[in-house]
Structure 1
């Protein structure tokens, strides 16, 4: 007597269930990878904007600390202007300083004009600019060469210490002295978040 063996394969339902389970597993894996990549990208962007913000605040503080009224020539000035645009603070500052300048084809000197202000960039948005001149001129906010620092700067608040209070504007031609300290608050934005960077500069009065 012969024994007949029958071999049963997977039914259609079993195959569909297996495919469904595999789909869920791959969806979880893909979601985890996508989330990890997005987190890594966001972390990198935050590191970049953090580096930019610290550099801007630090550079401004370093420049302002070198501010001088140039008593030997009598041409020195520090002029700070409070300015608002579309509800955002866009202050600017221009001053003479004891700071070495390096312009191609020109002799190196130790006096300069430095300015920070906003100007419309190529993309139509305002960008923070840094201006430097190796010739001391009047008015102090003109001349020299300007360089775009970053379009990510959304607001710039500059305040000046006058005795025991802080004021929003300064003109050394009126008060005849430099401020005891200058506060720099720089706000950068990446489209999702805002980041505040601060620094204090103390000019050598």
Structure 2
């Protein structure tokens, strides 16, 4: 696998196609997203990594600063922007009820037992949080946790396909509620 990583070393998705750069998800960058497990730009602990590399696929504890008035719902997108594909891989996609969750405890992004007020949507990999498992030798991968404070619930309007079945790249452009604030946190992992 190390040879494959070296062969793909210069191929990375980059930030161009991240949720952060979608026109409909633009807004003031006034939220600060933090984790007790790692700082912005720091290495993520193994427990947050995928099971196939010895991790526990345990989503990190996430906390955010005060939400803008009028926030109806939070949208959380976790993307690997260094995956050797045309677009970043979405490792987790979730909607959060801000009245039910003021932060996320470790494991709150589990598909089987999500935290209070958390609705897990489909990601590139499946449902729920999927931790880092970059190709050996490919170099450091950045995992960007992007939080958007929406003025209306993203799941209030009927969509085709239904929101629970839609792929992330089909769902994200359909979010029409204005973004009142947003913030991001980047974790790094390399094998």
TM-score of the superposed pair, with normalisation by structure 2: 0.29
Asked which structure has the greater RCO (Cα within 8 Å, sep 6+), the reply is 2
TM-score of the superposed pair, with normalisation by structure 1: 0.28
Q: Computing the radius of gyration over CA atoms, which structure comes out larger, 1 or 2?
A: 1
Between Structure 1 and Structure 2, which shows a larger proportion of helix residues?
A: 1
Between Structure 1 and Structure 2, which shows a larger proportion of strand residues?
A: 1
